[in-house]
């Protein structure tokens, strides 16, 4: 029996097999054989296994075999890869859909993507296998007629070097889908990391324009924190503000929070009242002066003139007056004293103690002239006569020593100073210093009350006979005859021997002496004349009669 089967197979092979070198097929084989003989099904059944044509086509010609014919010889070959779809969306393929017997030579078991790349409606049922498997035959993992249909060996049987247990995952398929596109696992990280699991969330904010995928920093299958790529691998030659204190990029940048820097005040409690803080907040204010990655080595802040184009205060630096985080300084003597100690010390107890009272623009424009003295000393400026119009002409010690004695009046009024009486050496005793006028509260009587109240003082202005200083006015009191000529003098005043007035009169006495003793100084011969008389003037009148105007 076995021999008969062998002979039958050989005969069938001779009758149905194709000899590509023979000039033509047997006469009873249809010409269509030339189109289908190289198909995967005929090559497997006829060329490799010598199956007789009649076993599939029957003995009467070459009709197309029924679709279920394969089950007669292969009852257990139904593939678990193509189960019947209970919803009917995907038609159940027949054996001939993978094992082609027709003229379409692309129908063969190894060409799975012929169907899976395109399907009904033009959409693919599956895409090419993930990453490293994109160019591998489907059969390397899928077993068409075996149970289970997927190779039971773990992925690490081929990818031993990629084995890891990231965050407790058990299988490669915890991260990878079987037929995902290349690198699709990058977008799947958030599916686990967006959930709280003992650590901070890592959500979609970790993906930024610079960090487009998790694997930008985390090499696939090397997910330990220590294995992450160093920031400097991409951010080369990035200068860092104060490198010793900011050695780690992650000290400021939360790498899974969009790489946005943490606020400086999270470490630096010192805040600033700089005006920029009101515009962009404290963090913006810090970076405005302290750009973290833009300063040369050794620098911690940009120059103030980067934003402020105001002129400097002489040779001073901005930080000599401005404390970096204290905002606008208060212009007061304590601040000015840092550099101008001698000036502020001399005005501390005077009306000039507030520097900005005169130096209103001193902060940034010290060269601008201060306001004139008349700004505050209005009355004095109005009272000053032409020769005293410039305050510094007398106050030579300068505005920082307002209490210093002014220059001596003699420096300008030499003639007056050299001709004044010793008791009049202090000009300001009688003169108002700004106008130069006689002080109304200082008449001669204020010092010479005894002289002003007697004799000529009651009737004649002192300057008629006296001058306080030159060059105007009488240098010495004029002779009495200047006002009292002989022909106008009454009584015994006309006697020539009585022509010397001061023999009897003192200029500032109330009444001339006419007692007996005074007259006897000249009239000694009358010592015995009327010895009982106490006054000579009673009988020898000097006025206009015994009862003249002066009572004598």
Angstrom distance (rounded) from CA 384 to CA 57: 141
- The pLDDT, as a whole number, for residue 549 is 40
* pLDDT averaged over 10-residue windows placed end to end, the chain, 552 residues: 33 41 55 91 93 88 86 78 73 84 91 71 56 78 83 82 76 78 76 68 76 83 84 84 85 77 82 61 69 82 82 82 81 82 74 79 82 86 82 84 84 88 86 87 87 82 86 86 86 85 81 81 90 86 58 41
End-to-end CA distance of the chain: 203
Angstrom distance (rounded) from CA 393 to CA 372: 14
- The pLDDT, as a whole number, for residue 40 is 93
- The pLDDT, as a whole number, for residue 285 is 67
Q: Give the CA distances from residue 336 to residues 238, 326, 331, 392, in Å, rounded to whole numbers and listed in that order.
A: 41, 17, 7, 23
10 Å CB burial of residue 347 (0-12, 13-18, 19+) is: buried
- The pLDDT, as a whole number, for residue 50 is 93
- The pLDDT, as a whole number, for residue 36 is 92
For 112, the token pair is 């799975």
- The pLDDT, as a whole number, for residue 259 is 66
What count of other Cβ atoms lies within 10 Å of the Cβ of residue 40? 20
- The pLDDT, as a whole number, for residue 156 is 81
- DSSP secondary structure letters along 67-98: GGGHHHH-TT---TTS---TTSSSPPPPGGGT
| pTM score over 0.85 | no
Q: Is the dihedral of CA 352, 358, 360, 362 positive or negative?
A: negative
- Planar angle of CA 378, 379, 384, nearest 5 degrees: 100
């Amino acid at each position: 029996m076995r021999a008969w089967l062998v002979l039958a197979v050989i005969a069938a092979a001779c009758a149905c097999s194709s000899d590509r070198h023979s000039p033509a097929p047997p006469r009873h084989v249809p010409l269509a054989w030339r189109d289908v003989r190289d198909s995967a099904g005929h090559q497997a059944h006829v060329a490799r296994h010598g199956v007789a044509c009649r076993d599939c086509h029957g003995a009467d010609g070459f009709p197309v075999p029924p679709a279920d014919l394969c089950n007669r010889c292969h009852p257990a070959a139904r593939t678990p890869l193509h189960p019947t779809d209970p919803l009917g969306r995907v038609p159940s393929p027949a054996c001939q859909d993978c094992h082609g017997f027709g003229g379409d030579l692309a129908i063969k078991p190894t060409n799975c993507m012929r169907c899976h790349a395109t399907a009904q409606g033009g959409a693919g049922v599956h895409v090419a296998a993930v990453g490293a498997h994109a160019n591998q035959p489907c059969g390397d993992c899928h077993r068409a007629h075996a149970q289970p249909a997927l190779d039971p060996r773990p992925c690490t049987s081929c990818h031993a070097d990629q084995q890891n247990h990231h965050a407790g995952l058990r299988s490669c398929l915890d991260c990878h889908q079987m037929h995902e596109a290349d690198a699709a696992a990058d977008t799947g990280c958030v599916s686990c990391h967006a959930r709280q699991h003992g650590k901070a969330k890592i959500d979609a904010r970790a993906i930024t324009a610079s960090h487009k995928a998790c694997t930008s920093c985390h090499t696939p299958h090397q997910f330990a924190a220590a294995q992450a790529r160093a920031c400097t691998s991409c951010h080369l030659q990035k200068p860092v503000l104060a490198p010793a204190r900011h050695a780690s990029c992650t000290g400021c940048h939360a790498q899974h929070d969009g790489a946005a820097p943490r606020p400086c005040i999270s470490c630096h409690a010192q805040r600033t009242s700089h005006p920029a803080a009101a515009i962009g907040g404290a963090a913006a204010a810090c970076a405005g002066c302290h750009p973290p990655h833009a300063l040369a080595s050794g620098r911690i802040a940009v120059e103030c003139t980067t934003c402020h184009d105001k002129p400097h205060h002489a040779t001073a630096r901005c930080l000599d007056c401005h404390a970096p985080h204290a905002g606008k300084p208060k212009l007061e003597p304590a601040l000015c004293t840092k550099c101008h100690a001698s000036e502020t010390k001399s005005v501390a107890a005077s009306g000039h103690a507030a520097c900005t009272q005169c130096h209103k623009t001193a902060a940034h424009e010290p060269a601008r002239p201060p306001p004139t003295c008349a700004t505050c000393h209005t009355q004095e400026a109005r009272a000053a006569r032409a020769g005293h119009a410039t305050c510094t002409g007398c106050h030579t010690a300068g505005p920082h020593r307002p209490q210093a004695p002014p220059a001596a009046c003699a420096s300008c009024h030499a003639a007056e100073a050299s001709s004044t009486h010793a008791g009049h050496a202090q000009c300001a005793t009688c003169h108002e210093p700004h106008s130069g006028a006689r002080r109304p509260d200082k008449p001669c009587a204020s010092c010479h009350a005894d002289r002003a109240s007697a004799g000529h003082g009651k009737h004649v202005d002192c300057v008629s006979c006296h001058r306080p200083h030159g060059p105007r006015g009488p240098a010495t009191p004029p002779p009495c005859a200047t006002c009292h000529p002989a022909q106008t003098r009454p009584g015994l005043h006309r006697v020539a021997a009585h022509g010397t007035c001061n023999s009897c009169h003192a200029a500032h006495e109330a009444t001339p002496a006419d007692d007996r003793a005074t007259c006897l100084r000249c009239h000694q011969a009358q010592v015995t004349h009327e010895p009982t008389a106490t006054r000579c003037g009673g009988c020898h009148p000097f006025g206009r009669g015994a009862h003249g105007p002066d009572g004598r």
